[in-house]
Amino acid sequence: MGKIIVEVCVGTHCTMMGAMNIIDSIHSLEEIQRELDEDFCEVEVRATPCRKLCGGEVNGPFVKIDGEEIQSAENEGVMAAIMSRCRSKNL
């Protein structure tokens, strides 16, 4: 079973831009996996402090999935990236 590390910045800027919604969505995804008994991938969510990426021209929230940074992260994009990685790790 593959493991995916998702680091969500929960600094002030990213929190204001919706970081907590993303964390909630990831937890919902984990619950759905459990309920469907589709335990094909483990997702570890880490809340991280401000990574000093905010304040410039790029907006948060900033989410790093297995080291790949996503700027202006939205639920749909983060979920799609997680599912894609789950599939590729279990091929």
Among 54, 65, 78, 86, contact with ligand FES (rule: CB under 6 A): 54
- Measured from the CB atom, the residue of 51 and 89 that comes closer to ligand FES is 51
Q: How many residues bind ligand FES (CB under 6 A)?
A: 11
Please name the helix (run of DSSP H) or strand (run of DSSP E) that holds residue 29, with its range, or none: helix 19-35
Q: Kindly state whether residue 13 participates in binding ligand FES, applying the rule CB under 6 A.
A: yes
Q: Kindly state whether residue 11 participates in binding ligand FES, applying the rule CB under 6 A.
A: yes
Distance between CA atoms of residues 73 and 70, nearest Å: 6
Classify 78 as helix, strand or coil: helix
Distance between CA atoms of residues 11 and 42, nearest Å: 25
Chain residues in the site for ligand FES (CB under 6 A): 9, 11-14, 50-51, 53-54, 60, 62
